């Protein structure tokens, strides 16, 4: 085996994919693919959380069954689940798990559009895209190892070449996305759905910049666009595919707009403020009943794991996370018992009635040595850890900023904040056609008219037809 030329090794590692009919690199056996996917599935569930709505969960799971049956790999443990994420996205893991975000559901306008999304992700699994990418990564390591033995110069460049490989694989990934579109087209058609609805899907994805133009997501690239080809290109490809591959009378294929909209009526839209939200530089958490002032002018974000804030100069950070049911003293002891973490001066006291332990610390990260201040405080049966840190030698310049923020942690008592509810999709029924302007006047929404148009699948100067339509009501966005 060790004398086998590398190009013969590569040929031996290629197998024909039963779903695509194409030869592809295969260093990851199916059993390992499934195992990896199931492990990652549990991590996604624990990290992101599942959106709990039994009726909607079953609906999505049932829609996935014919897609899995037509996938070319029906033996895989396919699963279709909704994650609690406001982003417009969907993703597949190796070997079967597929996740649809709660956020994308509010943006779709028919069952056929949802099936198109699910079919696309099923295509990734059918074509073994994740396994193929991992196989290429393994081959890259093998190739670099061979070259490094042969050429000292190549050995010096191996690290750079390894980074470059990632860019190459990103291109392959976008090629994979196109293939997943092709397969999704085929899967949804076999399942009896109208693939022409993919056009509306891509038009919606192409318009996501309208929605992110203001508010908390301003300046962010929509998550779908970070890994998927430009929607306009996908739209053009789908239109060409419809000309050549759509057979028979498409009017006999399913769209199911009214059924779909009835299923998502009342679904939260955007981030759920019950899980924490920002009001200026103040972070408020209605469910956990606390608030904290973050440094003025810092960028901040609420993630499932922690609340983070970064200084304008990008040289300091604050982080708040749960330390569980440990006491503040136990949480501090656990933190400082970690290898490489050095404790400095410490103090105990209270912060707005909560017992607290604070101490300076120093440590080393991949970016270099850091130093900062840590506070552990008890609040309604849970201990919270608040960290403020910066590069070694700069803590004093941020010390008062860290202390002021940590000292602002307090019980949330404002009734309006405690009772805040998320914005929701509300489905109304129009007895006649209306322009977007007329619709938003008759049925006010807590989002801009352009967003209302996007959510209803029409242009901002377009017309909503008689029948069901979506408006967005309530939520923190209405208070801004």
Q: Which residue has the higher pLDDT, 211 or 171?
A: 211
Looking at the structure, tell me whether residues 289 and 358 fall in a common domain. Answer: yes
The pLDDT of residue 464 is above 60 = yes
Place of tokens 């949802």: 114
Q: Does one domain contain both 52 and 155?
A: yes
Which residues are bridge partners to 358 per DSSP? 347, 375
Residue 332 three-state SS: helix
Same domain, 282 and 333: yes
411 is a domain residue: yes
Q: What is the mean pLDDT of the chain?
A: 84
Instruction: Kindly state whether residue 1 falls inside one of the protein's structural domains.
Output: no
In terms of domains, do 401 and 448 share one? no
Question: How far are the Cα atoms of 32, 126, 253, 425 from residue 77, in angstroms, in the given order?
Answer: 13, 12, 27, 32
* Phi, then psi, of 38 in degrees rounded to 5: -70, -35
Q: Is 132 or 86 the better-scoring residue by pLDDT?
A: 86
Q: Are residues 396 and 426 both part of a single domain?
A: no
Strand pairing of 14-16 and 23-25?
antiparallel
Mean pLDDT, residues 226-234: 67
What single DSSP character describes residue 461?
T
- Answer with the one of 214, 232, 262 that is the final residue of a domain: 262
Strand partners, 343: 361
Cα–Cα distance between 377 and 375 in angstroms, integer?
Answer: 6
Give the per-residue pLDDT at 305. Answer: 84
Residue 133 in tokens: 């990418």
For residues 195 and 113, state if they share a domain.
Answer: yes
Residue 341 tokens read as 């973490």
Number of Cβ within a 10 Å radius of residue 240: 10
On whether both 132 and 214 belong to a single domain, the answer is yes
Looking at the structure, tell me whether residues 397 and 433 fall in a common domain. Answer: no
Q: Which residue, among 130, 4, 108, has the nearest Cα to 56 in the 3D structure?
A: 108
d(CA 243, CA 246) in angstroms, rounded, equals: 6
Order of strands, edge to edge, in the sheet holding 467-473?
Answer: 268-269, 423-430, 467-473
Q: Please list, residue by residue across 55-88, b when 16 or more beta carbons sit within 10 angstroms of its beta carbon and e when fewer do.
A: ebeebbeebbebbbebbbbeebebbbbbbbbbbb
Judge if 167 and 35 occupy the same domain.
yes
Distance CA 331, CA 327 (A): 6
> What would the pLDDT profile of 237-278 be if each residue is shown by its tens digit?
899 999 998 988 899 999 999 999 999 999 999 999 999 999
CA–chain centroid gap for 380, Å, is 30
| Predicted TM-score (pTM) of this structure | 0.76
Retrieve residue 385's tokens.
């850890």
pLDDT in tens, 139-185: 344 333 333 333 333 333 333 333 332 323 333 366 788 899 999 99
Q: Which two tokens stand for residue 273?
A: 């403020």
For residue 232 the two structure tokens come to 């306009």
Residue among 2, 10, 83, 73 at smallest CA distance from 40: 83
- H/E stretch holding 321: strand 316-322
| The pairing of beta strand 277-279 with beta strand 410-411 | unpaired
pLDDT of residue 6 exceeding 50, the answer is: no
Report the domain count for the chain.
Answer: 3
Residue 469: beta bridge partners? Answer: 428
3-state secondary structure 340-401: CCEEEEEEEEEECCEEEEEEEEEEEECCEEEEEEEEEEEECCEEEEEEEEEECCCHHHHHHH
**pLDDT tens column, 357-405:** 999 999 988 788 999 999 999 999 999 999 999 999 999 999 999 999 9
Q: Say how far apart CA 326 and CA 388 lie, in whole Å.
A: 20
Q: Is residue 119 part of a domain?
A: yes
Look at residues 70, 64, 113 and name the one whose alpha carbon lies nearest to residue 92.
64
pLDDT of residue 452: 97
Please give the pLDDT value at position 178: 85
Report the C-alpha gap between 100 and 80 in whole angstroms.
Answer: 7
| Domain CATH number, residue 282 | 3.40.1000.10
Q: For residue 143, is it within any domain?
A: yes
3-state secondary structure of 447: coil
Please, which pLDDT band fits residue 25 given cuts at 50, 70 and 90? low
- Tell me: do 318 and 239 sit in the same domain: no
Of 206, 238, 262, at which residue does a domain stop?
262
Look at residues 417, 435, 465 and tell me which one is the last residue of a structural domain.
Answer: 417
**In sequence order, which residues have a C-beta less than 8 Å from that of residue 213 and are 6 or more positions away?**
none
- What element of type H or E holds 387? strand 382-391
Q: What tokens were used for 290?
A: 């606390």
For 437, the domain range is: 267-271+422-479
Asked whether the predicted pLDDT for residue 461 surpasses 50, the reply is yes
For residues 66 and 327, what is the distance between their CA atoms, to the nearest angstrom? Answer: 51
pLDDT, mean of residues 187-192: 96
Instruction: Clarify whether residues 439 and 384 are in a common domain.
Output: no
**Confidence (pLDDT) at 29:** 82
Q: Which among 231, 111, 250 is positioned nearest to 181, based on CA atoms?
A: 231
b/e code 416-454 from CB counts within 10 Å (16+ = b): ebeebebbbbbbeebeeebbbeebbeebebbbbbbbbbb
Using the predicted structure, report yes or no on whether residue 303 has a pLDDT greater than 80: yes
Is the distance from CB of 234 to CB of 172 less than 8 angstroms?
A: no
Q: Give the containing element (helix H, strand E) for 16.
A: strand 14-16
The answer on 462 and 355 residing in a single domain is: no
């Amino acid at each position: 085996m060790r004398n086998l030329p590398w190009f013969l090794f590569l040929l031996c590692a290629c197998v024909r994919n039963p779903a695509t009919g194409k030869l592809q690199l295969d260093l990851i056996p199916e059993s390992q693919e499934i195992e990896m996917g199931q492990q990652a599935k549990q991590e996604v569930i624990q990290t992101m959380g599942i959106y709990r709505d039994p009726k909607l969960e079953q609906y999505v799971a049932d829609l996935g069954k014919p897609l899995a049956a037509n996938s070319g790999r029906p033996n895989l443990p396919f699963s279709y689940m909704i994650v609690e994420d406001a982003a417009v996205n969907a993703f597949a893991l190796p070997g079967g798990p597929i996740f649809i975000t709660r956020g994308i559901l509010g943006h779709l306008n028919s069952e056929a559009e949802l099936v198109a999304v699910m079919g696309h992700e099923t295509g990734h699994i059918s074509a073994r895209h994740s396994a193929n990418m991992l196989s290429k990564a393994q081959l890259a390591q093998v190739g670099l190892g061979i070259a490094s033995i042969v050429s000292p110069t190549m050995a010096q460049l191996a690290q750079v070449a390894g980074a470059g490989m990632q860019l190459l694989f990103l291109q392959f990934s976008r090629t994979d996305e196109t293939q997943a579109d092709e397969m999704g087209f085929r899967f949804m058609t076999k399942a009896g759905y109208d693939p022409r609805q993919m056009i509306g899907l891509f038009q919606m994805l192409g318009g996501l910049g309208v929605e992110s133009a203001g508010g908390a997501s301003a300046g962010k690239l929509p998550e779908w666009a970070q890994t998927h080809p430009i929607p306009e290109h996908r739209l053009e490809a789908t239109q060409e595919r419809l000309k050549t591959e759509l057979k028979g009378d498409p009017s006999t294929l399913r769209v199911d707009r009214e059924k779909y909209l009835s299923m998502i009526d009342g679904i939260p839209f955007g981030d759920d403020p019950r899980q924490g939200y920002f009001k200026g530089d103040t972070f408020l958490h209605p469910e956990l009943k606390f608030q904290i002032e973050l440094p003025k002018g810092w960028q901040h974000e609420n993630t499932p794991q922690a609340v983070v804030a970064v200084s304008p100069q990008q040289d300091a950070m604050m982080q708040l996370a749960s330390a569980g049911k440990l006491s503040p003293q136990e949480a501090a002891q656990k933190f400082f018992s970690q290898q490489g973490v050095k404790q400095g001066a410490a103090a105990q006291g209270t912060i707005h009635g909560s017992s607290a332990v604070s101490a300076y610390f120093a440590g080393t990260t991949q970016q270099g040595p850091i130093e900062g201040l840590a506070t552990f405080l008890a609040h309604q049966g849970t201990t919270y850890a608040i960290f403020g840190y910066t590069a070694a030698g700069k803590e004093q310049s941020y010390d008062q900023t860290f202390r002021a923020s940590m000292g602002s942690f307090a019980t949330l008592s404002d009734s309006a904040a405690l009772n805040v509810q998320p914005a929701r999709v509300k489905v109304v029924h129009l007895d006649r056609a209306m322009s977007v302007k007329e619709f938003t006047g008759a049925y006010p929404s807590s989002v801009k008219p352009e967003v209302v148009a996007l959510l209803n699948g029409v242009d901002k100067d377009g017309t909503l037809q008689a029948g069901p339509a979506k408006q967005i009501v309530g939520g923190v966005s209405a208070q801004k």
